[in-house]
Amino acid sequence: MPPKYENHSSRFLLKSFDYHKQFCHIYAHRLAEMSGLLAKLAGKRWGQRIPIKKLCDLREDFEEECIIIGTIYKHQAHKPSILKDISEENQLAPQPPRQHYADSEDKVILEDELQRIRLFGKISAEEMATGVVCAVMGIVEEDGRFDVQDIMYYESGPQKTLSLIKESKLLVLISGLEQLQSHHYADSLNLFQYWLRGTFTSGKLKKEKVRVIVAGNSVRGSAEDKRITAFQTRVFDSKELVNAMKALDEWFASWSSFLPLDVMPGACDPANFMTPQQPFHYCMFPLAGRYENFQCVPNPYDCSIDEIRVLGTSGQNIGDLLRSTALEKPMDALRKTLIWGHLAPTAPDTLACYPYIDTDPFIIRECPHIYFAGNCDRFGTALQKGLDGQKTRLVCVPSFAKTQSIAVVDLLTLQCHEITFKAE
């Protein structure tokens, strides 16, 4: 009997496109929604005796402990800025671009609807990111700064208990197929396809594979770096790109002929740039699109398989977080976003996203059982346990082009392991 499947990604699908709005609305809604959630948790953690204050109610002579809830803004001297980009027009020396702009001198500021205040104390500035909504408990100092004694995050909300899974079933996660470079590892792709069909396993070792999720960068793994003038026609390597799309269509058609396949767009795929990235149009995959098993899904992607909630991205949120913080490993960044209760806190500050008006679809309202990020340099996995007993399997899905490997999750035990398909 096939597992029960539900797609919960409707909040990531854009029904209209209006780019005339300011980004302040998404920050306002993020703060309004998460403030209500954090206020309830703050009372449980710190008790009702400590009051929740607005920044406008704080006074320097107020020496009692209090709780404030707001959005983090991290002041970073090295962060990309449009003013720096146009500095040449002002006859100023432009600064060289930086791949990482976290610094020990970064300042952490908390903002609510009206005011802002500088934070210090028990808070790690280097691991914090702009856009995170949190509750802090502490005391206002005489110099107007807030001495943080404790800090709390939403931690991704409640989690459903599992009851439907009775036998081992495998969820296959793959990313970074990069068809433009696939001639370097064509044998590895063939080995992967043979494994999908169950060629290498039999008897007790054979487990049912229930779904494959392709987490972005299926066409290419890096953006084109071709600078053109305003009057120059943009020239694509159209023949190579078309051939890559045809080959990708053939692979997807083969896999979806016997297994459900979900395909997400990635940062370097022919899809919209802003998050959430919308699903590929089915005309791009005329062969695979004939199969009911084939499905184009957005990035981020949210679904459930037999009540197991699966949430993931193609990796842009993790890459941007690594650039703006001192976090070194994708697994650390993935864990932070789950603890913060938000898929992409740095959007729209340094990660481009759609200017939402009355919602923030990136808030993690229900804690997933499996949470993944695609296009990582290497495989990684960990089990994250929440304060209320939530258990989430974190998975850094390796880029197939770099590692010729995939991640496989057993839905019965939530155990995860890497399988490599290198043809020596």
User: Which pLDDT does position 228 carry in this prediction?
Assistant: 41
> pLDDT by residue (tens digit) across 330-384?
999 999 999 999 999 999 998 999 999 999 999 999 999 999 999 999 999 999 9
CA dihedral 265→269→270→275, nearest 10 degrees, is: 50
pLDDT of residue 93: 57
pLDDT level of residue 291 (50, 70, 90 thresholds): very high
* Band (264; pLDDT cuts 50, 70, 90): very high
pLDDT band at 48 (very low <50, low <70, confident <90, very high): confident
What was the pLDDT predicted at 231?
41
Structure tokens at 147: 């001495």
* Distance of alpha carbon 211 from alpha carbon 171, whole angstroms: 5
Look at residue 167 in the predicted model and tell me its pLDDT: 80
Q: What local confidence, expressed as pLDDT, does residue 233 receive? A: 46
The domain ranges of the chain are 5-19+158-221+236-420, 23-152
The pLDDT, as a whole number, for residue 305 is 93
pLDDT score recorded for residue 104: 73
Q: What is the pLDDT, as a whole number, of residue 156? A: 84
Query: Beta-strand (E) ranges in 76-115?
Result: 107-111
Give the pLDDT confidence of 68-106 residue by residue, as tens digits: 999 999 987 767 665 655 555 555 555 566 677 777 778
Mean pLDDT of the chain: 87
Give the pLDDT score at 232.
45
Residue 316 confidence (pLDDT): 95
Q: What is the pLDDT of residue 150?
A: 94
What's the whole-number mean pLDDT along residues 186-201? 83
The Cα-based distances of 115 to 55, 110, 135, 341, 358 in angstroms read 6, 8, 15, 23, 22
Residue 123: exposed, middle, or buried by beta-carbon count in 10 A (0-12, 13-18, 19+)? buried
The pLDDT of residue 181: 85
Side-chain-facing half-sphere of 12: CA atoms under 13 Å: 28
- Angle between helices 330-340 and 316-324 in degrees, nearest 10: 100
CB 131 within 8 A of CB 345: yes
Percent of the chain with pLDDT over 70: 88
pLDDT of residue 141: 86
| Per-residue pLDDT band at 205 (split at 50, 70, 90) | low
pLDDT band for 17, please (50, 70, 90 cuts). Answer: confident
- Report the pLDDT value the prediction gives residue 186, as an integer from 0 to 100: 87
- In CATH terms, is domain 5-19+158-221+236-420 a member of 3.40.50.1220? no
What pLDDT, on a 0 to 100 scale, did the predictor assign at position 204?
52
For residues 302 and 291, what is the distance between their CA atoms, to the nearest angstrom?
21
Res 247: pLDDT? 92
CATH 2.40.50.430 matches 23-152: yes
Task: Provide the pLDDT for residue 227.
Answer: 43
Predicted local confidence at residue 161, as pLDDT:
85
Contact 111, 73 (CB under 8 A): yes
> Residue 168's CB: how many other CB atoms inside 10 A?
13
Q: Is the pLDDT of residue 402 over 70?
A: yes
Most confident of 21-25, 187-191, 379-383: 379-383
List phi, psi (to 5°) of 402: -90, -35
